[in-house]
Structure 1
Amino acid sequence: MNTRTPLLIATLLAGTALAQGATPLTLNLNMSLVRSVKVDGKVTEQFSPSPKNVLPGDLISQVVNVRNTGSRALTNVPVTLPVPKNTVYVAPEKDMNVARTEYSIDGGKTFAAAPLKKKVTVTENGKTVTREVDVKPNEYTAVRWTISEIGANQTLKLGYRVQVR
C-alpha cells in the first residue's frame, strides 16, 4: 500500500469532526479514485470507491454525506474539510451546488468566496510594489460549506476533487 493513503484517509476523517460539534449531524466521507475511460468511443469517468493505493497525479473525488439526524431543521450549518496534505485542491464536485462554498489559504483560519485574492510584493523597475493577485485553486488549504437549511432526516452531498502530489 502506498504510504500516502493512510495519511490521506486519516486527515480526511479528522476533518469531518470539524463539522460535528454538538449538532445532530452525521457525516460520512466517501473517497473515490477518478479515471477517464473510453466507453463506446466516448470518454467518461470511472469511479473506484475507497482506493487502496494512490499515486502522484491521481484524481480523488471526496464526497461528504451530511445528514440531519434531529427532529427539526437546522440553519446555517457549517461543514469544513481540510485539503489533505500531499494533495492539491482541483475543483468542486459536479452537481453539488447545495450550499454556499468558501475557501481558505491559511489552513482554515479565514474563509472567503472564490476568487480569493492575496497581496504579493514584487520588484518592478527597481521599485518594490505590492499587488493584489488571484489565488489559484491549488493553493486552497480548506473548504467550508454553509448549508442554509437542512431538514429533519434530510441528507445532502457536498464534495470536491483533489489531486495527489
Structure 2
Amino acid sequence: MSVWRNLGERTEYENPWVTVNMADVELPDGRHLDHTVIRVRPVAVAAVVNERNEVLLLWRHRFITGAWGWELPSGGCDGEDPAVAAARECEEETGWRPGPMRLLLALHPMPGISTSHHRVYWSSTATYMGDPKDAHESARREWVPLHRVPDLIGQGEVRSSSAVASLLMLHHLRSGPK
C-alpha cells in the first residue's frame, strides 16, 4: 500500500480561524517534499426542504472568487454539537428555525490540502422567526424548487462543493424512484 507519511509540521501562519502549516512528507519511494496543510475548524451546514419540495437557499456574493451563487446556511462549530450549530446558523442567516435535524452527509471538500470537515444536516420543517440576525450574509433568501437544483448546478449558480453535494443528495432522496 502506498502511503504518504507526515513526519512533522511547522506553522507558517495562524489566526483564530485557520492555521497554515508546512508538512515534511515522506513519499512511498522515500523521497521528501514540503506540503501545505490548511487546518480549519469544522463546519456545520443546514438544508431545509419544505412540504412543497423547496429548499431554503441564500443568494450571496463571495469576494474571494468574485462570484454570486446559491448556498446553504453554514458556519463554524467550535466545540458545539454540529446539528445544533447547523440549526443556529440557519436561523441566524435566514430567519427560519429548522425542525429536527438529521445528518445528511459528512465530507472533506479539499482533502488534498485541508482538514476542513463539513457535516450537513437537513430538516423537513422550519418555522419563520423573523428577519435574519445576519442579513448581511446574503442579498436574499429564497425557497427554491428542488427540481431546479441540477439546472442551477449545471449553470454554475451553486459553487460551494458542500452545497453541490448536499443539494444533489436531497434532490435524489426527495425525487423518489423513477
TM-score band by shorter chain is under 0.3
> Higher RCO, 1 or 2 (CA under 8 Å, sep at least 6)?
1
Which structure has the highest helix share of the two? 2
TM-score by length of 1: 0.24
TM-score when normalising by structure 2: 0.23
